[in-house]
Amino acid sequence: MKALRLHGPGDLRLADEPAPIPGPGEVLVRVTAVGICGSDLHWYDESAIGDAVLTRPLILGHEAAGVIVDGPRAGQRVALDPQIPCGACDTCAAGRGHLCPRVRFLGHSVTDGAMRELLAWPAPNLVPLPDGIDDAAGAMLEPLGVGIHALRLARVRPGDSVGVFGCGPIGLLLIQLARAAGATTIVATDRLAHRVAAARSLGAIAALVDGGHERDVLLDATGGRGVDAAIEIAGEDDAIETAIVLARPASTVVVAGIPAGDSSSIAVSSARRKGLDLRFSRRMNRTYPRAISMILAGQVDVASLVTHRFGLAEFDAAFRTAARRDGLKVIVSPTGGPARLVAS
């Protein structure tokens, strides 16, 4: 089979490898769609993400869908839940497997990911996809799940105002999720004009980052009151600061973005004076059933966020497109056809 491995910063190599042999409780999956995530780009650019560093050539990719190859479920289309918690620690017992200190995660650290034709993965982590969700949308369940989890942490209620700071794919999903949760006013920012335009098309009052001037524009849009919940999903200090500036006193700020390196720096005076509840969001926690139901009900549109598709052989163009932040979501099809632009 063909597999794509990261050997160092920007050094991806496609090679033939033996097909994996499923272990106990695992089944073989033919991978049909993999999304390139911002965290994949950290690996690609830095050969690291936070304090996790590349120690051997790694197969990236954790947003994935495929078809089961063998066993009683052969032929079933599935989305892959990328995290395998230990199931034995206090954190897992508390229902927080996504925070398990010993969690294994697809395409992270020493666990190879989905940028390959075949992979073996635990059967309980293979979530059946209904006919109304295609393979690319199946790969989008993971970023949608990240958004669902972050919104839960933000404790958004009907009638609230919400700020989303960073309008990449997860930020655009958060705008839709906030609307579905009953938010009446949604404001958003991004550094890229096409992402701001996408946010506006989804109903947000969005502004291009402009040296801090965008904060005054969005504050005015809320009648000077600010927002009841603010979610940062850009991985930049400036976005966290904007979230704090726009947040109302005693409200919640969720930090969900992943910064370059392993630290963020913010001025805490405003957050302290406002008495803000600062929360950090990691990955997702048991969100796939909710994500599937929301897509089928038309509450969230993931298909419009997929702007580029590439075959595995076009990996260089795929990662360069994603790294330039062209379009929105880039999907790689390890068992698919040639590259094509879906939308601009």
Class of residue 240 by CB neighbours under 10 A (exposed 0-12, middle 13-18, buried 19+): buried
Through-space distance between the first and last CA atoms of the chain, rounded to whole angstroms: 32
Residue 237 burial (10 A CB sphere; 0-12, 13-18, 19+): middle
pLDDT band at 267 (very low <50, low <70, confident <90, very high): confident
Helix (H) or strand (E) holding 146: helix 141-154
Same domain for 253 and 154, yes or no, is: yes
Q: Please determine, for residue 340, whether its predicted confidence score (pLDDT) is greater than 70.
A: no
pTM over 0.75: yes
The CA distance from 256 to 37, in Å, is 14
* Position 125 in a domain: yes
Residues 93 and 174 in one domain: no
Indicate if the alpha-carbon torsion angle 261, 57, 109, 55 is positive or negative: negative
Q: Would the pLDDT of 332 be above 50?
A: yes
Strand-pair partners of 58: 6
Q: What's the CATH code of the domain at 166?
A: 3.40.50.720
Q: How far, in Å, CA of 106 to CA of 270, rounded?
A: 38
Name the pLDDT band for 302 (thresholds 50, 70, 90).
Answer: very high
The two tokens of residue 192 are 């890229």
Round to whole Å and give the CA distance between 67 and 135.
Answer: 9
Q: Under a CB-based contact definition with an 8 Å cutoff, are residues 243 and 266 in contact?
A: no
Residues 135 and 153 in one domain: no
Q: Which of 77, 82, 202 is nearest to 138 (CA)?
A: 77
CATH number for the domain spanning 337: value is: 3.90.180.10
Residue 292 within any structural domain of the chain: no
The verdict on residue 285 lying in a domain is no
What is the average per-residue pLDDT within 70-83?
Answer: 95
- Buried/exposed code over 12-50 (b: 16+ C-beta within 10 A; e: otherwise): bebeeeeebebeeebbbbebbbbbbbbbbbbbbeebebe
User: Per-residue pLDDT for 33 more than 60?
Assistant: yes
Residue 165 within a domain: yes
Provide the token pair at 214. 């965008």
Looking at the domain assignment, is residue 286 inside a domain? no
- With bands split at pLDDT 50, 70 and 90, how would you rate the model's confidence at 336? low
Range of the domain at 81: 2-140+302-341
Give Rg (Cα) of the chain: 20
* Claim to verify: residue 48 and residue 109 sit in the same structural domain: yes
- Which of 205, 138, 197 minimizes the C-alpha distance to 178? 205
The full DSSP string for 94-110 is TT-GGG-TT-EETTBTT
94-108 confidence digits (pLDDT tens): 999 999 999 999 999
Tell me, yes or no, whether 51 and 116 share the same domain. yes
Residues present in the chain in total? 344
Indicate if 159 and 254 belong to the same structural domain.
yes
Does residue 289 lie in a domain region?
no
The whole-number average pLDDT for the span 83-90 is 95
- Pairwise CA distance, residues 307 & 298, whole Å: 19
Total structural domains within the chain: 2
